[in-house]
Structure 1
């Protein structure tokens, strides 16, 4: 496809993605989902849990523990309503997509087992239940303090769907089991960054540039505690599409190893 044929007027929607971590034998491991091929956005790709912000996320009436909304607004460079929506979406989407719930009965506790909320999880995914209604009904406090801001990527101009995505990191709470009980996941796995990148180089998985970049950066950390203690700068990264030798590619910071290692779908359009 030629660049001139790509859409340029697609609206950008907010989205939140959570890089869920646990300590493994050789360092941090990351929970990854392979999206079903039929998904309109990133179908077949290996990704972190996450999704689009819902309008109700900005107005969610929830009990909140951790840094105030104003702190998140400053870190992400947005207004407070948008910051609240991004954090609520991060917690909600993580619960919907892998059953991990960053909330607890009090401001300093977290749910130990989410199996009791299986029906509510399905209702949330189908939008029959709002996230604030769920937390209020169960008497749960949203644990914003378990999240850390990590990165900000915007889908390139020319894509049919575009998202302004904020990436978060969080440790998987003890006792909770991350799963693939969602209509959006074909398979799930815990992988170290090195293993995930090896899978990608071998052609077993497909990683979009933001996912590849986060995995590459996380490979430098020795433990989950080290990741959570980091305070990275969060520049807004807006990749651009370009043509090279008749092939469409995406230009982004540090791209050379991405293109040198394996043939990617960006070069097959």
Structure 2
């Protein structure tokens, strides 16, 4: 396996799961370890970098068309499928929760997906709503081009309080009242995303435009993605 270029900006997916969103919204978060290279000790949403296998993973249902369209904007290739699969995989790996539909895989699942497939589910992306995008600023030990996906916890197929299948990357996994989430030790971008989510917690439709916090060596810009794709 080739070593990861730590200076490169890696595509990544993050999942914001909302529970009881209409009455008493709670958001799923966990704490990164004190020795983590990226955002140590911070409370974050489940998420991580896209793996090469994610682009080939079969999906029981695809992303909503509007979200797939937004994901192609300001992007050199259509990687929506890989981003959606990565979101589902990271949610499974870091929390043990399953976003999928019962079914058999058409072929043997890749190693990182073997545990998911063994539960008798295929990943399903229809509940993922693309709601935010942010690129890690220069100078950080890791840099990601992260797409944030909102899901309603009712779409999760497993027990919402059973984190026994989670890896050890996040500790203190818990459903935090949305109104209190910013009381925790959060990265700056997580605070920004939480403000966006709080404003649309009860809106169940995909957003017409998506905030994009773009950081590069020259400047930081806060843009909105509105579906104007170079792939058109």
Where 1:88 maps in the other structure, the secondary structure is: helix
Larger radius of gyration: 1
User: How far, CA to CA, are the matches of 1:241 and 1:192 in structure 2?
Assistant: 36
Instruction: Give, in angstroms, the shift of residue 174 of structure 1.
Output: 6.2
Instruction: Give, in angstroms, the shift of residue 213 of structure 1.
Output: 0.9
1:241–1:29 Cα change, 3 Å: farther
Give the TM-score normalised by the residue count of structure 1.
Answer: 0.66
User: How far, CA to CA, are the matches of 1:230 and 1:99 in structure 2?
Assistant: 25
User: How far, CA to CA, are the matches of 2:7 and 2:158 in structure 1?
Assistant: 42
Among 73, 96, 121, the residue aligned to 1:99: 96
Instruction: Give, in angstroms, the shift of residue 98 of structure 1.
Output: 0.8
Would the aligned equivalents of 1:99 and 1:177 in 2 still touch at CA under 8 Å?
no
2:229 corresponds to which residue?
Answer: none
User: How far, CA to CA, are the matches of 2:81 and 2:42 in structure 1?
Assistant: 28
Would the aligned equivalents of 2:136 and 2:144 in 1 still touch at CA under 8 Å?
yes
1:262 corresponds to which residue?
Answer: none
**Equivalent residue runs for 1:3-14 within 5 Å:** 10-14=7-11
1:144–1:102 Cα change, 3 Å: same
1:75 corresponds to which residue?
Answer: 70
Between 1 and 2, higher relative CO (CA 8 Å, sep ≥ 6) is seen in 2
4+ residue runs of structure 1 moved beyond 6 angstroms? none
Give the TM-score normalised by the residue count of structure 2.
Answer: 0.76
Q: Which has the higher helix share?
A: 1
Where 2:40 maps in the other structure, the secondary structure is: coil
Among 54, 58, 61, the residue aligned to 1:65: 61
Q: What is the total number of aligned residue pairs between the two structures?
A: 207
1:234 corresponds to which residue?
Answer: 210
Unmatched 5+ stretches in structure 1: 1-8, 107-123, 200-204, 243-249, 254-269
User: How far, CA to CA, are the matches of 1:160 and 1:140 in structure 2?
Assistant: 35
Among 179, 183, 186, the residue aligned to 1:207: 186
Among 177, 182, 186, the residue aligned to 2:167: 182
User: Deviation digits for residues 4-36 of structure 1, max 9, x if unmatched?
Assistant: xxxxx9210011000011016853210111111
Where 1:183 maps in the other structure, the secondary structure is: coil
Instruction: Give, in angstroms, the shift of residue 137 of structure 1.
Output: 5.5
1:58–1:25 Cα change, 3 Å: closer
Unmatched 5+ stretches in structure 2: 1-5, 104-108, 223-232
Where 2:20 maps in the other structure, the secondary structure is: strand
Where 1:213 maps in the other structure, the secondary structure is: helix
2:3 corresponds to which residue?
Answer: none
Would the aligned equivalents of 2:25 and 2:177 in 1 still touch at CA under 8 Å?
yes
Instruction: Give, in angstroms, the shift of residue 218 of structure 1.
Output: 2.1
Where 1:65 maps in the other structure, the secondary structure is: coil
